[in-house]
Structure 1
Amino acid sequence: MPPGTTDGAPAGGGPAGPERGQPVRAREIGLRPGQFATGALNAITDVDGVLVGQVTRVEGETIRTGVTAIRPHGGNLFAERVPAGLAVMNGFGKLAGATQMMELGELETPIVLTNTLAVGRAVEAVVDWTLARNADARSVNAVVGETNDGRLNDIRARGVTGADVLAALDGAVVGPVEEGSVGAGTGTMAFGWKGGIGTSSRLLPTALGGFAIGALVQSNYGGALVMDGVPVGRELGKFYLREHADQGDVDGSVMVVIATDAPLSDRNLQRLALRAMAGLARTGAAFSDGSGDYAIAFSTHAGVRRGAAHRAGDASLPDWPNDRMSPLFVAAAEAVEEAVLNSMLRAVTVESRDPATGRRRKGEAIDTAAVRAVVERYRPAQG
């Protein structure tokens, strides 16, 4: 049972057979997108101070959903805000807090990811969590993103509670991040297979600043899956517009969160967030009419935090120059691409029952053994 599961039911439909392969991370089967090295954990938490908490809701035969919370640092974020930028490729989504974040260029609460119909409850919980830590707060801009997990989850049952959001926030920790069919990715689908939560990181060499860049994704979108340049979706026979008729694997959404310890302004963080779309494009994203494609980037650098001195106009902030941003752009795209691959390769099959029809539903995990075989066929020398 995944950590955070709220009852005894397994998230998946039983263990994967050896012929189908077990959940793996991309690098375990020879997929290594890009050129930069990863951090020690190959996770968003390689950016010093970033915490992630998750709660997975699996109840009976119908509830398959959850919450993933990202905290930029372990202190009081409302008092010590961090600069942030937002990029939107296709705006079919319900990203709470977006306009104030764009206007002021900062985060004053953690970022919470969940399902579409849980956004309201999540906002209430983030407000409660923030007010409890700030006696003088009169306005709170809660940032809550979503994707629609209704293909596997009884989304109308409103399974996510405020208590789940508080548990994810309070349980957020540094260190390894669980991936796949967990948290906000419990009921998501991607490219016709099971999607989920995935993460990755990149480290720039000292000559380029020596910064860390980490990404976390909630994958629930479609297109024609490409893994590190290998056309896996085409080879496995599942892709958008196959035979000009298959419309089933394209619509959905994706939330991307990018963290860095580089001293970036909110303007350059917006530019960094936009590069997430390059990473998604490399995975074969269709960016369809019904997809919500969002990326939030923030900096954890102590020098750019917006505490009381900054708000009083008594402090200046460092600002990494524009002409040195390109390596960060490349690293962000690479981390996002690999985070998506990890979200799918680490997922397990999830089964549920449609409460309206009584029919069984299955989000089948991608066959990692088949993916490995495709990769080896395209890259025999790398095996």
Structure 2
Amino acid sequence: MVTPAGKPRARSLMSFAGRPGKWNAVTDVPGVEVGYQTLVTGDAVRTGVTAIHPRGRDGASDPVAAGFHSQNGNGEMTGVSWIRESGTFSGPIAITNTHAVGVAHAGIIAWTVRHHPRMANAWLLPVAGETWDGYLNDINGHHVTEDIVVAALEAATPGPIEEGSVGGGTGMNCYSFKGGSGTASRVVDYGGTQYTVGAFLQANFGDRHELSLDGVHLGELLADDNPMGSWSPAPAGSGSCIAVVVTDAPLLPLQCAALARRVTLGLARTGTAGSHFSGDLFLACSVANRGAISPGLDTFNGASPGRYDQLRFIPWGQLDPFYEAVVQASEEAVINALVANEEMIGRDAHRSPALPRDKVARILSAHHVPGGSVS
């Protein structure tokens, strides 16, 4: 119920359906590595970078089957044109703030040139996503550099990962509480094999009045401490959400896209209706079928003439448990980002309060007692 740094997680407040993996994190999927660079300096820098290697750092040149879904396009994720065209992508993923997404893209290229020079010998279409941290962070200050991005990629490891105000999630807010990085996983049995579905979210969305946890509408009950509610430059509910879903279940690209669409339902369980000012962009990929998809450079230079690529995949009619896993893990990842957090003060003395965990625990407990009061 705690992160590696000892911060509480969502299960300290409520229970969840489904069976999580060992770490209840995207890194439960074999091979996945996650790294952070967190930038908290002075009064105004509250940002960072999150790096995700779907196949681990050594497997960057092996394409994964992938699909993308835009719940609302008021945001940016690079590389999705090629994902929609080919159903694949190669290399790591980086997530940061809105005005650093280009730097994140360039940083992935710099890292790839260093570690996979043959892969970088033609062209690269990296996946870099963003959410807006301008309430707490000096977003125009160019604090995220290529070196910071490379450092996050280098820092990636398997195993348990930190949550809350870390990496790209450092300066983010969710339901006008301190938000940021959250993750969860679910184990699915199919055909005598256990597969894992992991979700990582950079949660930076939602208006306070919308918040619901464990089926209890909390927005009005938690309305008393909301500095962002009276801050006019950004409409309530703005900010964005990036979700990365990874599974070791063998899937087709369109099946990955179907998983990505289910993130929407996980977010909805926490109350959001999806603001116009929130770019909610979701990517899903399958790390199964290793070596089954020819890298673009191989086909370009004739290294695999006459080859046929071949994907093994779970039948469409058997995907419901995987859809359910995405919804459950996405919901829990959002709540983990909220629970594993503390109040933060950033630029211009802007304050983002932490979710009042003790108060939420009392409300949820009362709600689940017959005749209990939730006031």
Q: TM-score by structure 1 length? A: 0.86
2:357 aligned partner: 368
CA offset digits 1:228-279 (Å, max 9, x no partner): 2121223212799xx9xx9953111000010101000111000110000010
Aligned CA RMSD, in angstroms, stands at 2.5
Equivalent pairs, count: 352
Can you give the 5+ residue segments of structure 1 that lack an aligned partner in the other structure? 4-21, 355-359
In structure 2, how many angstroms separate the alpha carbons of the residues matched to 1:107 and 1:232? 39
Which amino acid in structure 2 is aligned with residue 79 of structure 1? S
Residue aligned with 2:212, SS: coil
Q: Which one of 223, 227, 239 corresponds to residue 237 of structure 1?
A: 223
Q: Which one of 333, 338, 341 corresponds to residue 327 of structure 2?
A: 333
In structure 2, how many angstroms separate the alpha carbons of the residues matched to 1:324 and 1:206? 8
2:157 aligned partner: 173
CA offset digits 1:152-200 (Å, max 9, x no partner): 0010112111111001101100011100011111100110111110000
Q: Which one of 215, 222, 228 corresponds to residue 214 of structure 2?
A: 228
Which amino acid in structure 2 is aligned with residue 101 of structure 1? I
Which amino acid in structure 1 is aligned with residue 161 of structure 2? V
Which amino acid in structure 1 is aligned with residue 279 of structure 2? G
Which amino acid in structure 2 is aligned with residue 141 of structure 1? L
Q: Which one of 71, 75, 94 corresponds to residue 76 of structure 2?
A: 94
With over 3 angstroms needed to count, the CA separation of the structure-2 counterparts of 1:120 and 1:110, relative to structure 1, is same
1:6 aligned partner: none
With over 3 angstroms needed to count, the CA separation of the structure-2 counterparts of 1:336 and 1:165, relative to structure 1, is same
The answer to which of 304-313 and 96-105 deviates more is 304-313
CA offset digits 1:110-161 (Å, max 9, x no partner): 1100000001111111111112212362210011000000000010112111
How far did 1:94 drift? 1.7
Instruction: Note if 1:32 corresponds to 2:15.
Output: yes
Q: TM-score by structure 2 length? A: 0.88
Identity rate of aligned residues, in percent?
37
Q: Which one of 44, 65, 74 corresponds to residue 83 of structure 1?
A: 65
Which amino acid in structure 1 is aligned with residue 262 of structure 2? R
Which amino acid in structure 1 is aligned with residue 236 of structure 2? D
Instruction: Note if 1:118 corresponds to 2:96.
Output: no
2:267 aligned partner: 280
2:38 aligned partner: 56
In structure 2, how many angstroms separate the alpha carbons of the residues matched to 1:75 and 1:68? 14
With over 3 angstroms needed to count, the CA separation of the structure-2 counterparts of 1:308 and 1:192, relative to structure 1, is closer
With over 3 angstroms needed to count, the CA separation of the structure-2 counterparts of 1:175 and 1:78, relative to structure 1, is closer
**For the Cα contact (< 8 Å) 2:294–2:309, is it kept in 1?**
no
Can you give the 5+ residue segments of structure 2 that lack an aligned partner in the other structure? none
How far did 1:346 drift? 0.3
With over 3 angstroms needed to count, the CA separation of the structure-2 counterparts of 1:340 and 1:179, relative to structure 1, is same
1:267 aligned partner: 254
Q: Which one of 322, 340, 346 corresponds to residue 346 of structure 1?
A: 340
